[in-house]
Amino acid sequence: MLKGIDPILGGALLHLLDDMGHGDQLLVVDRNFPAASTGLPVVRVGEATMSRVIGALLGVFPLDEFVDTPLERMEVDGDPAVTTAEQDAVLDIARAAHPKPLEWGVIPRLDFYERARGAFAVVHVLDPAPWGCFVLQKGVVFDE
């Protein structure tokens, strides 16, 4: 147990996040996503809401400030304007953690599977909410 770090971020996940560099992309996906078939390292965090997991991640993981959309989501049912309640909650959490204005990048569902192959790793969350698939691009940790 570590002080000040959400216990949902276990040692394997913290190690993986520490190994990532600026610009590396992390997939955070729901229980329906075929995480193992990506061929990437997969860390499973168990049953939790996506907003809790991403909130914990963003407590230690800076989003990239040098790109327009360091947070992307899977498109809902072929309509880029539609979001789910859980996606909205994730965006609110990310906006609170990011020093710049933040809007979604939206990836069509089939394109998301293709993009997944180029990511650094996958965080697999047993969240039952549909369309809970995200890409987070790691930023730089500046001296504070």
Query: Which of the residues are catalytic?
Result: 22
Contact 115, 29 (CB under 8 A): no
- Compute the mean pLDDT over every residue in the chain, rounded to the nearest whole number: 95
Judged against a pLDDT cut of 80, whether residue 144 lies above it is answered with no
Domains of the chain (ranges, CATH numbers): 11-137 (3.40.1650.10)
Instruction: Quote the percentage of the chain above a pLDDT of 70.
Output: 99
User: pLDDT for 2-20, tens place per residue?
Assistant: 789 999 999 999 999 999 9
How confident is the model over 21-48, as a mean pLDDT?
96
Local confidence band at 59 (pLDDT 50, 70, 90 cut-offs): very high
Q: Which amino acid is at 57?
A: L
Across 38-49, b (16+ Cβ under 10 Å) vs e yields bebebbebeeeb
Contact 17, 137 (CB under 8 A): no
Local confidence band at 143 (pLDDT 50, 70, 90 cut-offs): confident
